[in-house]
């Protein structure tokens, strides 16, 4: 490590200590040329989560976009802000888990994970989200979706064939 005082590259590590959550290691170093002491941090480089879109192009995952979608579909549902925050958080967790170590997920898988979590929280918000995600084009599709939900007595998911299977 380059000494911030004299620019020398000769140093020794005096002390190494992991941060309390284990996400970084702090090293206390001493320059062998001028004796200056300085600190360096070592962290795992997190790969950006990438979304593969329908046209096969990629874009970085954008949590604010997902949050916006959730706010729209839960509008006027009188859900506690906590409940909405938790919902967004749970969807994000599910997405990260599904993306795995490659940190890649398809946009349709994001939609499926979101639908699953929204379904647990609010059925109306679910139908709203589904209508956009599945691009309902007529009233009949709404009715079908709602009928499927009504048939699902125990509220288990999915109430219908997943969009994945329909393709
Ligand atoms: Zn130095």
Question: What is the tens place of the pLDDT at every residue in 57-86?
Answer: 999 998 888 898 999 999 999 999 899 989
pTM of the complete model: 0.64
Instruction: Judge contact between 113 and 94, C-beta under 8 A.
Output: yes
Ligand 1 centroid from CA 22, angstroms? 29
- Is the distance from CB of 5 to CB of 34 less than 8 angstroms? yes
**Residues, CB within 5 angstroms of ligand 1 (ion):** 3, 5-6, 8, 31, 33-34, 36
What is the C-alpha to C-alpha distance for residues 88 and 141, in angstroms, rounded to an integer?
26
- Which residues pair with residue 105 across a beta bridge? 51
Q: Say how many Å lie between the CA of residue 23 and the centre of ligand 1.
A: 28
pLDDT tens digits along 126-153: 989 988 887 777 777 778 877 777 777 5
Q: Quote the ligand 1 centre to 8 CA distance (angstroms).
A: 5
């Amino acid at each position: 490590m380059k000494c911030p005082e004299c620019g020398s590259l000769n140093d020794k590590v005096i002390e190494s200590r992991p941060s309390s959550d284990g996400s970084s290691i702090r090293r206390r170093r001493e320059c062998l040329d001028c004796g200056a002491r300085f600190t360096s941090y070592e962290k795992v480089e997190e790969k950006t989560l990438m979304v593969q879109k329908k046209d096969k192009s990629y874009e970085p995952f954008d949590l604010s976009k997902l949050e916006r979608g959730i706010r729209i579909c839960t509008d006027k549902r009188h859900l506690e802000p906590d409940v909405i925050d938790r919902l967004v958080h749970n969807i994000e967790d599910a997405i990260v888990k599904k993306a795995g170590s490659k940190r890649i997920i398809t946009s349709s898988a994001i939609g499926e994970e979101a639908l699953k979590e929204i379904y647990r929280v609010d059925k109306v918000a679910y139908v709203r989200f589904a209508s956009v995600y599945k691009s309902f084009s007529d009233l009949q599709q709404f009715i079908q979706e709602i009928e499927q939900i009504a048939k699902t007595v125990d509220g288990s998911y999915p109430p219908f064939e997943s969009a994945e299977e329909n393709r």
